[in-house]
Amino acid sequence: MAFENLSERERQVLANLINYYIRSADPVGSRVIANKFKMGVSSATIRNTLQDLEELGLVQQPHTSAGRVPTDLGYRVYVDYLLKPEELTEAEKESIKRSILKEGRGIKEILGQTCRVLSEITNQLGVSSAPRFEEGVLKRIEFIPLTEDRLMAVVVVQSGLARSIIIEVEASIDESSLREVEMVLNERLAGLTLAQIRSTVSERLSDVSAGGRLIKLIVDSKDKIWTEDRTDDVFVAGADHLVQQPEFSDRNKLAMLLKLIEDGDELREFLLKAKNEGLFITIGKESRWSEIMNCSLVTSSYKVGNISGTIGIIGPTRMPYSKLASVVRYTAKAITEVLSGMDEKKGK
């Protein structure tokens, strides 16, 4: 059966059950639905409908004498077909936009603060990933002498983001040679992504005679200069909110989740895959991680020029999706606007 073809009563009963369960965390019986939602049918009719939903795998009974709770598939049907996004007020929107700039205007400060804002608003775990720098298109590269044997290479991409790398040189390089090499690199490499440069820089500079020593060093250091450091690009905040959720009364479950988050690599890969999806909701066992099979992830991508990153929340599958999806979607939009505004100011 195609779940979009559920009868209207089945849709209403499933939506009402999930909405009530999200608030209460208690299994929901037919009598509760009949009394709370005034559907105009008897509890016996609702009980029969619940049995039909259970046969479809959308709800289940944790105990034979208990009411029913949604399954992961039930949540998926709810999210895909029944969810009614809850609009944020203008005051809520303004508060989010103002709050993400509270700790500063650097991208890492903004992403760190975004995690805290998401966590405080949603009472879930806030997460964010920095934009994938190597997808950026090179705008220019500059060299700044630090000491006789050290240079700083500043790589600026078209979105306005920049990163700096320290390069060790065997002997000092005079100013005119630095500027000559800068000019050659910018003429030949500007307009390419950093990933393209890393894979082709040897061929693109093979016939350059000027600044030979520095050019050779640039080629030999291609993995250092054109590859981003991924060790500190995932931000997390709000573990204390999860402690308050009944799903994490078992501290072992919480410890397993936090260990996964602390490791960072798997979460980084997940956020990387989700970054081009717009708003993306992953429910329970849809995730490949056993550590968070009782959790959902609500993520959304943001953009800095042609580079994108991801923000979102992690919490129990029993979360108010209608509100949280709107919060995550708007926060991603606000980050895009804030960072785009910063880039426009840089260009003036």
pLDDT, tens digit, 9 for 90 and up, residues 169-201: 887 788 888 898 899 999 999 999 888 998 898
Residue 2 pLDDT class (50, 70, 90 cuts): low
d(CA 279, CA 328): 8
d(CA 135, CA 333): 20
d(CA 209, CA 31): 84
Q: What is the pLDDT of residue 277?
A: 65
- What CATH number should be reported for the domain whose range is 3-82? 1.10.10.10
- Which are the contacts of 213, defined by CB distance < 8 A and separation ≥ 6? 169, 170, 173
In this model, does residue 227 exceed pLDDT 50?
yes
Q: What is the pLDDT of residue 58?
A: 96
User: Domain segments of the chain: what residues?
Assistant: 3-82, 90-131+232-347, 134-225
Question: Is the pLDDT higher at 71 or at 266?
Answer: 71
Q: What is the pTM of this model?
A: 0.80
Q: What is the pLDDT of residue 344?
A: 47
Half-sphere exposure of 250 (CA within 13 A, CB side): 8
Q: What is the pLDDT of residue 187?
A: 92
**Mean pLDDT for the stretch of residues 198-223:** 83
Structure tokens, 6: 């559920």
Of the given ranges (177-191, 201-215, 262-276), which has the lowest mean pLDDT?
262-276
Residue 229 pLDDT class (50, 70, 90 cuts): low
d(CA 107, CA 308): 12
d(CA 215, CA 218): 5
Q: Environment class of residue 175 by beta-carbon count within 10 Å: exposed (0-12), middle (13-18) or buried (19+)?
A: exposed
To which residue do tokens 């975004």 refer?
114
In this model, does residue 1 exceed pLDDT 60?
no
Provide the 10 A C-beta neighbour count for residue 72.
17
Pick the CATH number of 90-131+232-347 from 3.90.870.10, 3.40.50.10540, 3.30.450.40, 3.40.50.2300: 3.30.450.40
Q: What is the pLDDT of residue 339?
A: 79
Q: Which fold has domain 134-225?
A: Enolase-like; domain 1 (3.30.390)
Nearest-CA neighbor of 281 among 238, 247, 324, 248? 324
d(CA 78, CA 48): 19
Q: What is the pLDDT of residue 348?
A: 41
Q: What is the pLDDT of residue 26?
A: 92
Query: 328-332: which pairs have CB atoms within 8 A and are 24 or more residues apart?
Result: 328/118, 328/279, 328/298, 328/299, 328/300, 329/279, 329/300, 330/88, 330/93, 330/96, 331/96, 331/100, 331/114, 331/117, 331/118, 331/300, 332/300, 332/301, 332/302
The strand pair at 307-316 and 295-304 is best described as antiparallel
Tens of pLDDT, residue by residue over 285-302, are 888 777 777 889 999 998
Q: What is the pLDDT of residue 57?
A: 94
Mean residue pLDDT of the chain comes to 86
